[in-house]
C-alpha cells in the first residue's frame, strides 16, 4: 500500500491511524533517509496508542520505552549501532517478541535480527513533488 502525504500533519495522522489499529506484538521496521519523517510517523503511532508524552528520536539510547498507552510502545533508533550485537545487550528480543508495539528507525541496519513477520514502512521524498511531499510504502513481510 502506498500513501502520499503533503505535510507533517498528514504523516502524523497516518501514524495515529496505525497506532489506533496496532495489535500487541506488532513490529514496524522504518526505512528511509535522515529527515524523511520516521520520527514524525513514530510520534503519530505513539499518539494513536494513547501516549501523551513527547516522543523524540532516542539518540542516546537505542530504545525508548513508553508505558502509558494502550500497549507499551518501544521506539528504537539503531542508526548509531556499531554492531548488531549491541541489540542483544539491549535485550531486543524481550521487546520484539513481547506484548507491546515496536517501531525501529533505520531497520535496514538490523535486517538479520528482525522477526519473521513485521510491517515494513519505507518513506521517501520526491523533490519534483515539493519539499514536504512524502511517499510512504507499507509492506507486510512474512
Q: Binding residues for ligand ADP, per CB under 6 A? A: 5, 7-8, 10-11, 32, 34-40, 57, 105, 132, 134
Grid cell digits, residue 48? 494513536
| Residue number with the smallest Cβ distance to Mg ion | 39
Q: CB nearer to ligand ADP: give 4 or 67.
A: 4
Q: CB nearer to Mg ion: give 61 or 117.
A: 61
| Residue number with the smallest Cβ distance to ligand ADP | 37
Q: For residue 54, give the DSSP letter.
A: P
CA 125 to CA 123: how far, in whole Å?
7
CB of 9 to ligand ADP, least distance (A): 8
Name the strands in the sheet holding 134-141, side by side, starting at the edge strand that comes first in the sequence. Answer: 2-5, 134-141, 118-124, 27-31, 101-105, 73-77, 63-66
Please tell me whether residue 52 adopts helix, strand or coil conformation: coil
| H-type alpha helices, the chain | 8-21, 38-49, 86-90, 92-96
CB of 125 to ligand ADP, least distance (A): 8
Query: Considering CB distances under 5 to 8 angstroms, the limit depending on partner class, which of Mg ion, ligand ADP, none binds residue 34?
Result: ligand ADP
State the residues that interact with Mg ion by CB under 5 A: 38-39, 57, 105
Q: N- to C-terminal Cα distance for the chain? A: 15
CB of 106 to Mg ion, least distance (A): 8
Decide: 100 and 24 in contact? Cβ < 8 Å: yes
CB of 19 to ligand ADP, least distance (A): 15
Query: Considering CB distances under 5 to 8 angstroms, the limit depending on partner class, which of Mg ion, ligand ADP, none binds residue 5?
Result: ligand ADP
Amino acid at each position: 500500500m502506498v500513501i502520499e502525504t503533503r505535510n507533517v500533519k498528514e504523516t502524523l495522522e497516518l501514524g495515529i491511524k496505525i497506532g489506533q489499529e496496532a495489535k500487541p506484538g506488532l513490529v514496524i521496521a522504518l526505512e528511509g533517509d535522515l529527515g524523511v519523517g520516521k520520527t514524525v510517523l513514530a510520534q503519530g503511532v505513539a499518539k494513536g496508542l494513547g501516549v501523551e508524552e513527547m516522543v523524540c528520536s532516542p539518540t542516546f539510547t537505542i530504545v525508548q520505552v513508553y508505558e502509558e498507552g494502550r500497549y507499551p510502545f518501544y521506539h528504537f533508533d539503531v542508526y548509531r549501532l556499531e554492531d548488531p550485537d549491541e541489540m542483544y545487550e539491549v535485550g531486543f528480543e524481550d521487546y520484539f517478541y513481547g506484548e507491546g508495539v515496536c517501531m525501529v528507525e533505520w531497520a535496514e541496519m538490523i535486517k538479520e535480527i528482525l522477526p519473521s513477520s513485521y510491517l515494513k514502512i519505507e518513506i521517501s521524498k520526491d523533490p519534483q513533488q515539493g519539499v514536504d511531499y512524502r511517499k510512504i510504502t507499507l509492506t507486510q513481510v512474512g
